[in-house]
């Protein structure tokens, strides 16, 4: 007898609002979207959004903090579940590729809107992002035996490659995931590529 797939957990109203806002911010930019636009996207009046968020700035702050927390938590859990550094690197690449392909609007909003955050939110997001980068740096140093600045530069370069997917996804989801994973791993693990002169 076949297994019944687990149902996706139902989104809360707050999550629906954030998802709609992410799509709109990605398409029109943070300043090109009003509260009424977000309300219309989820079937409520713009002012009704204030029952869920105190402002559009607060919405963006929660969105970008949540993205950064998800990336960090996902990266840490995959590294801790991996038997060795090489497996951990592969798991990190797959995790970031999956995130970028499954949440392209969030990736776009994250790349474009850091400057639109309030100072406290920007500091929080930056701290989370730095911790996520450190997971990659440590894993790269253990895997390919490079110095810390090279590992850091390589991690950021791979993020750039993977995060370009909202603009470069010309293949279906599985093909794109496979291509990005191969490209990222090749750039990080091919002998001599990360060797310092």
pLDDT mean over 135-161: 94
Give the domain 56-189 fold: Tetracycline Repressor; domain 2 (1.10.357)
Residue-level pLDDT at 5: 45
Question: In this predicted structure, which of 65-79, 135-149, 160-174 has the lowest mean pLDDT?
Answer: 160-174
pLDDT mean over 76-95: 97
Contact 195, 169 (CB under 8 A): no
Task: Say which residue the tokens 């607060």 belong to.
Answer: 58
In whole angstroms, what is the distance from residue 169 CA to residue 105 CA?
13
In whole angstroms, what is the distance from residue 143 CA to residue 132 CA?
17
Residue 83, C-beta contacts closer than 8 angstroms, at least 6 positions apart:
none
Residue 164, C-beta contacts closer than 8 angstroms, at least 6 positions apart:
none
pLDDT mean over 122-132: 97
């Amino acid at each position: 007898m076949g297994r019944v797939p687990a149902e996706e957990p139902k989104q809360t109203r707050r999550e629906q609002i954030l998802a709609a806002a992410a799509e709109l911010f990605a398409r029109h930019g943070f300043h090109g979207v009003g509260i009424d636009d977000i309300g219309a996207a989820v079937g409520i009046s713009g002012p009704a959004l204030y029952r869920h968020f105190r402002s559009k700035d607060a919405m963006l702050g929660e969105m970008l903090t949540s993205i950064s927390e998800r990336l960090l938590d996902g990266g840490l859990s995959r590294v801790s579940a991996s038997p060795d550094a090489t497996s951990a690197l592969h798991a990190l690449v797959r995790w970031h590729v999956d995130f970028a392909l499954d949440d392209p609007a969030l990736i776009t909003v994250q790349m474009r809107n850091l400057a639109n955050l309030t100072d406290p939110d920007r500091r929080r997001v930056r701290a989370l992002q730095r911790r996520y980068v450190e997971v990659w740096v440590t894993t790269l140093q253990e895997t390919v035996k490079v110095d810390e600045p090279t590992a850091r530069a390589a991690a950021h370069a791979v993020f750039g490659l993977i995060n370009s997917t909202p603009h470069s996804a010309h293949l279906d989801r599985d093909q794109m995931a496979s291509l990005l994973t191969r490209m990222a791993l090749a750039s990080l693990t091919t002998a001599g590529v990360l060797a310092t002169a």
